[in-house]
């Protein structure tokens, strides 16, 4: 009986120690904290993007910001564009994705870019784009945290002086 309790306690302890932080629903930014300078972060991000085969569309060396070209998200043609902002001791990662669908009626209409946010059902384009951005953040190394979720949203209160009826 003691062995069973010991095994259960060890399993619970391992589960708590190795559990990954889940991103809150609605998160749109990933912050990677490390102990590197902004220029070191900038160089390491460029190297990792090159290793992953992600093209750098533009870069600003003065403010240490990168914008990538299209990185494939799904096998169905959806692609993502990432914006990476490097600072001392942190890297901020955001992104936009498109669905890859085109409408060819009389005019060729491409789909608009949609901000990558942690929402949607498992297997949806929103979820796949978030997973791809989260995997990129994991390869950058460091402690990962998420911002922009429901907790960060600003609630606007109506002005009590106005008697507008909605």
Would you say residue 154 lies in a domain? no
Would you say residue 165 lies in a domain? no
Would you say residue 157 lies in a domain? no
Q: 98 and 78 in contact (C-beta within 8 Å)?
A: yes
The tokens for 19 are: 């559990």
Which contiguous run of DSSP H or E holds residue 93?
strand 90-98
Rounded distance between C-alpha atoms, residue 23 and residue 17, angstroms: 17
pLDDT recorded at residue 27? 86
For the chain, give the longest Cα–Cα distance. 75
Would you say residue 26 lies in a domain? no
Would you say residue 93 lies in a domain? yes
Which residue range forms the structural domain that includes residue 78?
33-149
pLDDT recorded at residue 10? 62
| pLDDT lower than 50: segments of the chain | 14-19, 153-158, 164-166
114: helix, coil or strand?
A: strand
44: helix, coil or strand?
A: helix
pLDDT digits (tens, 9 = 90+) for 17-51: 444 557 777 788 999 999 999 999 999 999 999 99
pLDDT recorded at residue 78? 81
Would you say residue 83 lies in a domain? yes
Please state the pTM of the whole predicted model: 0.71
Would you say residue 17 lies in a domain? no
pLDDT recorded at residue 154? 40
Number of separate domains in the chain: 1
- Residue 164 has a CB neighbour count (10 Å cut-off) of 6
pLDDT recorded at residue 124? 82
Q: 125 and 74 in contact (C-beta within 8 Å)?
A: yes
CATH of the domain at 108: 3.30.530
Rounded distance between C-alpha atoms, residue 148 and residue 9, angstroms: 36
The tokens for 161 are: 């002086």
Would you say residue 28 lies in a domain? no
């Amino acid at each position: 009986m003691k062995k069973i309790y010991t095994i259960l306690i060890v399993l619970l302890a391992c589960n708590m120690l190795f559990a990954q932080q889940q991103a809150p629903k609605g998160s749109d930014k990933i912050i990677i904290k490390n102990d590197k300078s902004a220029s070191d972060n900038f160089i390491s991000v460029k190297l990792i993007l090159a290793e992953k085969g992600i093209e750098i569309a533009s870069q600003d060396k003065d403010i240490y910001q990168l914008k990538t070209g299209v990185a494939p998200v799904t096998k169905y043609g959806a692609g993502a564009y990432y914006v990476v902002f490097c600072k001392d001791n942190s890297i901020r990662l955001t992104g936009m994705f498109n669905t890859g669908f085109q409408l060819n009626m009389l005019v060729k209409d491409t789909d608009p870019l949609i901000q990558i946010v942690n929402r949607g059902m498992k297997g949806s384009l929103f979820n796949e784009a978030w997973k791809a951005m989260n995997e990129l953040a994991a390869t950058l190394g460091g402690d990962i945290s998420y911002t922009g979720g429901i907790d960060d949203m600003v609630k606007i209160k109506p002005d009590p002086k106005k008697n507008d009826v909605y």
